[in-house]
Structure 1
Amino acid sequence: MKTLTLKSIILIITLQFFSSIANGQEFLSPVQWQEDLRFLQKTVHSDFPFLFKKVEKEAWDATVEKLYTQIPYLEEHEIKVGLTRMVSFFEYGHTQIPFSTVSDKGVLPINLYHFKDGIYVEGTTKENSGILGAKLLKVGEFAVDQALEMVRPVVPVENESYFKAYGLRFLTVPTVLHAQGVIPEYSEQITLTFEKEGKPMEYTLSTIPREDLSVGYGLTIPNADWVSAREEVSTPLYLKQLNESYFHFEYLPESKTLYARQSSVFDHEKETIKDFYKRLFEFIDNNEINKLIYDVRLNGGGNNYNNKQFIQGIMARPEINTQGKFFFIIGRRTFSACQNLTNEIENYTNAIMLGEPTAENKNFYGDAKKVTLPNSKINAYLSFAWWQDKPQWENADATVPHFPKELTFDEYRTNQDPVMDFALENDFEDYLVNPMDHFRQLFMAGEMEQLKTDAARILNDSLYAHIPFKQEFKQTGQNMLAQGANEGALFLYSMFTEYYPEDPEMWEGLGKAYKALGQDKEAETAFAKAAALSNKQ
């Protein structure tokens, strides 16, 4: 932000005024922008106070006041980005100022995708095909990870998966890059640093109108102007007929597997969701099905009242609703009404979940109301409906799959699908889908030696490496102590200190259990061990 002379300010305002007149837009003064901000603030406090669930009112108001004082010194696009930050502050994906508001001056002609091994150019225009498939290293002078953190406040980030799915596009918007300090001056030409074939290279891209993008479900749609990094010699099942219908299923006779993709919870113009379900279950009833793989990894939601028929259909078919036969693929675009569907699948079926964590909190605010700011006419969408499919103590940032699988760039480029391969190649009938539940059952049954044996084996099995056992164990131990179940806590903490001998919290818990049982000498030894480990950290 530069200090401007009075003459410079008058010149800038004059130029902005005549530019706005030329574009048929009304020029807004700083006071009018401040009025819009105050209107937003008052509306939130009066009509949407329940949105202060993840954030404190005082923190949000302080951020509003900071923007209010900055407005006279900001350019119009910086103010729009600032207002967007205010709404994104609540961290609910439905609560937002639309992406179109901050990208109205143009976007870079690339489509980025965050693969397991980095962020790559998944698609671009033919004239920029030299960077197709390149790995993004820097935006301007900032490493890509730093640039992402800088634009993150503008994104209505529900969780990490939501940011992976929707946050990357903000890196392609020069107005956002400038407002968030990624580039020092606003420009329609942005220099990025890539790596391709092992060599770094700088490349400058110029903006295009947002409407000229060719992207659907976060992936490039090739056409006369756009090219995709994915080889078009074949199409994996999850992308088949993707742009023709929301619904698709296909039978794999060799394995007697039925694969079904549902990419929306709305009706499609070619087929209602009710008719799709009817057609799907008729096929299941008239064919031998060893596995049903139901894929909602690209499903961004719709009308969650449409979920009922599918849940009823699965529950009415116990031969399918069995561990090892029913698989449910979720991902970073599983959102909104499809999160409701995922919750219901988790509550009422025996599905094994594969893929990536969902983009939505398990319980969340959705169904936004449009609030139009009086001067700028910018639309803010503020959520009002609380959807709670899970008890509050079971709420979480996302639904995490039992067995996570994420695409590498090369797997995507060559049309591989490790999620499908995992489901097809393994026999899951004897798999422990939820090891923590297994541990609890053994503990409750008093089968302590089996518990120790199974825990030691599972903790060393790479199949379960994604499960945060240490955090789960710590919480279990704390709960036991809080409930006064001191003998059980002593057994568990004795086991936990074997698995995590360098963790001071485990030794602290062991000391508390000894202390509660009156074994002061042993408690003193455990506390001393905890203190020594804490001092080493």
Structure 2
Amino acid sequence: MIKKLLLLLVFTIPLMSVSLTVAAEVVGKNALVQLSKQAWQEDVDKLFTSIHCLHPNPWHSITVKKFKNLLQSIVSSSQTESRTRSSLKLMAALAKIAQADGDGRTGIWPFQDVTDFHLLPLRLYSFSDGIYILQANNINQQLIGHQLMAIAGTPTADVFDTVSSHLGNGSDMWVKSWSPLYSIIPELLEELNLAKGLNINITIKNSEGELVTKKLKSISAKSYKKAFHQALTRTSSTSLPVDDKSAGYLKQIYGEAYWFKKLNDSTLYMQYNHIINEDEKGQFFSEFMESLEIEIKSYQLDSLIIDVRNIRGGTDDYDENHAIYSAFFEMLNRFKAEKRQLNLYVLTGRVAFSTAANFVLDLDKKTQAIFIGEAMGGQSNYYGEAERVILPNSKLKVMLTTRYQNKADTAKPAKTAKPDYLIELSSKQFYSLVDPVMLKTLALIELSTYD
């Protein structure tokens, strides 16, 4: 039963090793200090009270009695097990609540300062033609650009499938976004009987088409963050990396929250990267929309491309976010009142979760926009507006959702909105700096000119 619970981890497994002795050998002075039984009791009491007060429907997948029993078993065994093991069981218990459909935010983000977590020094991405190594630390640069065929002898796709069953009840693209990151966590792989230890063999296909196996030494989460910069934030962990050689639509992900440029005599391109009221330059989104509207009217443009493939979401307040991006729909209403035609083309991708997904869904419901690209990662029915709760002794940061959102016309859970033109990026296109989504969009605009 305990093993089953451990396999249900959602955003958990931020741990070292089951043995505190082994952990100490790996991390030295950073080994976690054991907590007393009373300390764990205070932590689980704080967790239960917070869940009861904050979560709108916590007992969707588990009864109160069963959950309390799980918490008490953790306290009871805390003095005969390592702190790591107790934390692992606590996360497993919390994961039972996160099995509610669309509750992808309830859980514990693995890469916290109070955990001692490891990763293989790689960044992976799932393209239409396979799983590839996009980045590596300095001593493994020769691996970049190669297809990853296996992890610890198991085909990479099978590893992804195994890990994905523990990422919560999200959309298919949500799972596709997060599997690459969770598949390089040695502790999780060992828990799932896929590998053993912190150093793991990987198999790549080299440029000659040969299979080559190499043992990789894992690194701490802290070292991983340093090596890959923003690669352990919720958005950048799932995004394509950005550098000077990136395709155009990737280069300004972290530079500007929103911007636009005129592409030709008929089309304006708008990139929407962050739902915030005021950007880094001090420009309010409402002011940005005014300048965009002036641009469209001044040049008598009739097509607007809205690129949300890199959108990072907004705050955890649904109403606040809606109030921010409502300026976009206010502009559309003015155009409608003036009987001015504006064709909308929305470029979508897997990183659109939560607030970003709300914006896309509102576009789908309120406009005649054409959607091109991947399906987004977010759902129309989901639990959101997560609040952070810090447990007093372990200092584990727990995210608890506080509101159920229903953007669909039915109470039946809908996984995600599907694009009108489903286009998935291949590794060849990525490395050739080809943007198939933009190419398809421009072709559609050209065709519509002659309708």
Q: Deviations over 1:103-150 (max 9, x none)?
A: 743322211111111111112224312111111221113222332233
The correspondence for 2:273, drawn from 253, 263, 266, is 263
- Residue 357 of structure 1: how far off its partner (Å): 1.5
Question: Any stretches of 5+ residues in structure 2 without a counterpart?
Answer: 3-18, 316-320
Q: Is the Cα–Cα contact under 8 Å of residues 322 and 351 in structure 1 kept in the other structure?
A: no
Does residue 206 (structure 1) correspond to residue 217 (structure 2)? The answer is yes
- Residue 242 of structure 1: how far off its partner (Å): 2.4
The residue number in structure 1 matching 2:33 is 26
Output aligned runs, 1:126-525, within 5 Å.
126-184=138-196, 186-187=197-198, 189-197=199-207, 198-208=209-219, 209-212=223-226, 213-214=228-229, 215=231, 216=236, 218-222=239-243, 232=244, 235-253=246-264, 256-266=266-276, 267-270=278-281, 271-303=283-315, 304=321, 305-318=323-336, 325-393=343-411, 395-426=413-444
CA distance, structure 1, for counterparts of residue 72 and residue 193 of structure 2: 16
- Residue 382 of structure 1: how far off its partner (Å): 0.4
CA distance, structure 2, for counterparts of residue 388 and residue 249 of structure 1: 31
Count, aligned residues: 407
Q: Is the Cα–Cα contact under 8 Å of residues 94 and 382 in structure 1 kept in the other structure?
A: yes
- Matched position secondary structure for 1:172: coil
Larger RCO (CA under 8 A, 6+ residues apart): 2
The correspondence for 2:124, drawn from 112, 119, 144, is 112
RMSD: 3.6
CA distance, structure 1, for counterparts of residue 293 and residue 275 of structure 2: 17
Question: Any stretches of 5+ residues in structure 1 without a counterpart?
Answer: 2-11, 223-231, 432-537
More helix by share: 1
Q: Which range moved further: 400-409 or 96-105?
A: 96-105
Q: Deviations over 1:236-272 (max 9, x none)?
A: 332132231122222122x632111111102321233
CA distance, structure 1, for counterparts of residue 20 and residue 140 of structure 2: 36
Q: Which range moved further: 113-122 or 84-93?
A: 84-93
Does residue 50 (structure 1) correspond to residue 57 (structure 2)? The answer is yes
- Matched position secondary structure for 2:107: coil
Does residue 100 (structure 1) correspond to residue 111 (structure 2)? The answer is yes
- Residue 36 of structure 1: how far off its partner (Å): 4.1
CA distance, structure 1, for counterparts of residue 161 and residue 289 of structure 2: 41
The residue number in structure 2 matching 1:461 is none
Q: Which amino acid is the alignment partner of residue 239 of structure 2?
A: G
- Residue 401 of structure 1: how far off its partner (Å): 1.0
Q: Is the Cα–Cα contact under 8 Å of residues 348 and 373 in structure 2 kept in the other structure?
A: yes
Pick the structure with greater CA Rg.
Answer: 1
- Matched position secondary structure for 1:375: coil
Q: Which amino acid is the alignment partner of residue 148 of structure 2?
A: L
- Matched position secondary structure for 1:315: helix
Q: Is the Cα–Cα contact under 8 Å of residues 37 and 64 in structure 1 kept in the other structure?
A: no
Identity of aligned residues (%): 23
Q: Deviations over 1:290-310 (max 9, x none)?
A: 421101111131042211101
The correspondence for 1:40, drawn from 44, 47, 50, is 47
- Matched position secondary structure for 2:164: helix
Give me the TM-score of the superposition, normalised by structure 2.
0.78
- Residue 168 of structure 1: how far off its partner (Å): 1.6
CA distance, structure 2, for counterparts of residue 410 and residue 84 of structure 1: 39
Q: Is the Cα–Cα contact under 8 Å of residues 93 and 156 in structure 1 kept in the other structure?
A: yes
Give me the TM-score of the superposition, normalised by structure 1.
0.67
CA distance, structure 2, for counterparts of residue 25 and residue 393 of structure 1: 45
- Residue 35 of structure 1: how far off its partner (Å): 6.5
- Matched position secondary structure for 1:220: coil
Cα separation, partners in 2 of 1:193 and 1:59, compared to 1, 3 Å: farther
Q: Deviations over 1:267-296 (max 9, x none)?
A: 321233233222222211111324211011
- Residue 340 of structure 1: how far off its partner (Å): 1.6
Q: Is the Cα–Cα contact under 8 Å of residues 360 and 397 in structure 1 kept in the other structure?
A: yes
